[in-house]
Amino acid sequence: MLFVMSPLKNVLPRILSLATLLFLAGCETFQETPDSDTFIFLDPEETLYVRMIIAPDLMMEQAYPELSETVKERRYEQYLTSMRSLLQIYRFPMDVYLLEELESPGEGPLLELFAVRWEQDRMGEIKVTLKAKLERYGELNTLGTFTSHEMPSVMSNYERSEQVFVRTMEDALTQMFNELNKHFETPAEEAFVQEPLDS
C-alpha cells in the first residue's frame, strides 16, 4: 500500500526555503557519519518512510523566488510520479509512506533521498545526482550516489523537456531501488536466521 501526502500549500515559500537551506548546511556534517556495522534488513511487516529533499537553485531563489518555488513544486510532483510508477513496477513488498518536506517519520525504517542536483546545465543536458541512505532504529546504511543524464532533442518543446526531467529521475531511482532491494532477506538468509540453535 502506498501513502502519498500532498505537498504543503499553506506554508510560506520562504519558510520552506529556509528548511531546505538548513538541511543543506548540515549535509556535509551528516555525510561524515559512518555507516553502522550492522546491515539493515527491511521487514515487510513494517512501513518504510521516505523523505525527499530537492536542493534549491540558490541563484533562482534570489532572483525569482516565486518562479523558484513553482519549479520546486513541479520537480517534487515529478518525483512523486516516478516513485509511484517504480513502486508498482517493483511490486515493493512493504507499505511506503512518502513524507512531506517538514513532516517527521513514524516508527519504522526511514529512507532519505537527497537530490543534490536535478537541473538543466548550460549545455542543455538534464542531470540528476541522487544520494540515498537507510536508517532503522539508530542504524545507518548508505545506499550510494546515483546519477543520470539525458540531452533533450534539439526539437524538444517544453513538455518534452519536462518528460526528460521525469525520465532522468526515474533512472536514478531505479538504480537506488536495485540497492534497496538487497536489504530484504533472501529465502536462504531467512531460513538461516530461523534455524534453531543447537542445545
- Does residue 4 fall inside a structural domain? no
* CATH (domain of 136): 3.30.160
Mean pLDDT over the full length of the chain: 81
Question: Which residue type occupies 98?
Answer: L
Residue 57 has what pLDDT? Answer: 74
* pLDDT at 132 > cutoff 70: yes
- DSSP letter for each residue of 70-99: HHHHHHHHHHHHHHHHHHHHTT-SSEEEE-
- Distance between CA atoms of residues 31 and 33, nearest Å: 5
Number of domains in the chain: 1
* pLDDT at 87 > cutoff 50: yes
How many angstroms from the chain centroid is the CA of residue 82?
10
- Does residue 18 fall inside a structural domain? yes
What Å distances lie between residue 169 and 1, 38, 114, 133, 173, CA to CA? 22, 29, 12, 17, 6
* pLDDT at 181 > cutoff 60: yes
- Does residue 68 fall inside a structural domain? yes
31-72: pLDDT as tens digits: 567 888 899 999 999 999 999 999 887 777 788 888 888 888
pLDDT-wise least confident of 10-14, 165-169, 192-196: 10-14
Residue 198 has what pLDDT? Answer: 57
- Does residue 77 fall inside a structural domain? yes
Between 174 and 55, where is the model more confident?
Answer: 174
Q: Are 108 and 45 in contact (CB under 8 A)?
A: no
Give the three-state DSSP class for 31.
Answer: helix
pTM strictly above 0.85? no
Residue 6 has what pLDDT? Answer: 45
> Which domain range does residue 25 map to?
12-32+40-183
